[in-house]
Amino acid sequence: MRRVRRPRSLADLGIVATGAVAPAARQRVVPLPAQVRILGLDPGSLRTGYAVVETRAGEVRYLVSGAIRTRGESFTDRLREIFIAVDQLTAEFRPDEVAIESVFMHRNADSALKLGQARGAALSATFALRPRVFEYAPREVKLAVVGTGAAEKEQVQLMVKRLLNIAGPLGADAADALAIALCHAHSRRLRAVTAALAGAAR
């Protein structure tokens, strides 16, 4: 597992809303805590991407990422492998929040059904810790990380590596999971700023 010790600020890289917030607004209660550990999940019946990052005061630190590759002969066996692997990840890294891609329509009904079940297996494995769960559409993730909802996978991989200062190769599944985690880090930061501004306007 690759670990990078040089966190980068999302604000410094231009993907977080900027602007001064009045001191009084900073003292207001925001919807989500500022310091959290986020588990990003990109489920699939054959490969499930995962990523863990920490966010603190606008800084995002990379902890780990990779892919769970199932080898079971039956689909049920593969679902069990996904559940067990995510359960182990959750027990080791103890995320406060989980970010996962939302359900979307698929051209192939059988593929959509399998994807939904893999998603359920991965998500259910996190419930023991009662994390807050957030869902994001694929276009929303690409927009947050690359700047366009029509970005290609290669663009997502490149931007994820740049944003988190990751050296060396990064698999597509791990990159997608990291993109989901970064999208959530970006989104929750915007929520906090919006809440602070709304509080200041009252």
Q: What is the CATH number of the domain that holds 92?
A: 3.30.420.10
Report pLDDT digits (tens) over 161-201.
999 999 888 999 999 999 999 999 988 776 655 555 555 55
Instruction: Output the DSSP codes for 158-172.
Output: HHHHHHHT--S---H
Q: Is 3 domain-assigned?
A: no
Number of folded domains that form the chain: 1
Q: Is 68 domain-assigned?
A: yes
Q: Classify 134 in phi/psi space as left (phi over 0), alpha (psi -120 to 50) or beta.
A: beta
Report pLDDT digits (tens) over 92-108.
999 999 999 887 666 77
Q: Is 30 domain-assigned?
A: yes
Report pLDDT digits (tens) over 58-89.
789 999 999 999 999 999 999 999 999 999 99
Report pLDDT digits (tens) over 125-165.
999 999 999 999 989 999 989 888 888 888 999 999 999 99
Tell me the one-letter amino acid at 85: A
Q: Which of 3, 1, 102 is nearest to 43 (CA)?
A: 102
Q: Which of 16, 56, 50 is nearest to 37 (CA)?
A: 56
Q: Is 41 domain-assigned?
A: yes
Active site residues: 42, 101, 173
Domain that holds residue 77: 8-201
Q: Is 85 domain-assigned?
A: yes
What tokens does 192 get?
């906090």
Q: Is 2 domain-assigned?
A: no
Query: Do residues 7 and 57 make contact, with C-beta atoms less than 8 angstroms apart?
Result: no
